[in-house]
Amino acid sequence: MVSETESCKIALGSQLVRCPAVLTLGVYPNLADYPQWKLEKILQASKIYFPTSMYAEMFLIMGKKIFPSIHTYRFLGDKIKQTLLFQLLGLPTPRTRFYFGPRQHKSITSDFPFPFIAKKARLSSMGRGVWLIRDQQELEAYLSSNQPAYIQEFLPVEKDFRVVVAGRQIIHAYQRIPVQGSFKANISQGGTVCLDNIPAEALSLGLKGAVMCGFDLVGMDVCQSNNKFYLLEANMKFGTKGFNSAGLQYKSILENMVTEDRI
């Protein structure tokens, strides 16, 4: 490991703590909590890895490079912002609308026939906060605890894929197979990993979406429906079971990419 006096790459978050090329300084909520030598390292660094959402914007204003990108932090956990970005960039995504308040809620069933998908708009992951809405009663239950409403057409999904991008390259991809009878393919929801025959179209769309959006460390969810491919969402915080199933070590891949200056 590097010592505190060596010239090296700097990180705040713990993701690269075992990387010999990186000095991980830790995350303190108050600058006064940093020892002086750590604070000097931060101020002198031209690039900082894993600055966390607390410091990313500030480092950018100071003219420092960061990884992951500022866009990766800005769109973290916000399905509405992500979907709007996909739409503005012309990326294929299921038809989706957002509804704010009771007056707009009345238009939902005019815009979308049952069944349709409803999601928690912000700060949900691992398949939590996603519902298949089959009737008015289920819609009312969803609306009672979700504001704004995020409503998406229900697609007959043939296959579901996770495409993981670091920098501007795919570091892993796999199909997620849902439990029989479930519409959720998330591994955390009981889905299983399949590593065979990932379509080139899914890989291409996942990478294209990440690059166009400026997300340089992300798991892009892609689905296939009626032989077409759609972006579902971007996951800046993603699990590593898919890597483990392939015999890959996610953190080792990141460490090698950092050491080789590929990210």
55 shares its domain with 143? no
221 shares its domain with 249? yes
134 shares its domain with 48? no
Q: Across all residues in the chain, what is the average pLDDT?
A: 93
Place of tokens 């299921």: 94
pLDDT tens digit sequence for 126-142? 557 999 999 999 999 99
pLDDT tens digit sequence for 161-203? 999 999 999 999 999 998 776 666 666 656 789 999 999 999 9
The verdict on residue 144 lying in a domain is yes
User: Is the distance from CB of 253 to CB of 166 less than 8 angstroms?
Assistant: yes
Structure tokens at 193: 């990993």
Q: Is the pLDDT of residue 103 over 70?
A: yes
The verdict on residue 29 lying in a domain is yes
165 shares its domain with 216? yes
The verdict on residue 35 lying in a domain is yes
Q: Is the pLDDT of residue 121 over 70?
A: yes
Q: Is the pLDDT of residue 51 over 80?
A: yes
CATH number of the domain within which 148 lies:
3.30.1490.20
188 shares its domain with 243? yes
144 shares its domain with 119? yes
255 shares its domain with 179? yes
229 shares its domain with 209? yes
> The domain containing residue 111 runs over which residues?
95-153
β strands within 27-67, DSSP E: 47-49, 65-67
pLDDT at 179: 75
Distance in angstroms (rounded) separating the CA atoms of residues 162 and 114: 27
Q: How many domains does the chain have?
A: 3
254: left (phi over 0), alpha (psi -120 to 50) or beta: alpha
Average pLDDT, stretch 91-115?
96
Distance in angstroms (rounded) separating the CA atoms of residues 205 and 211: 10
pLDDT at 195: 94
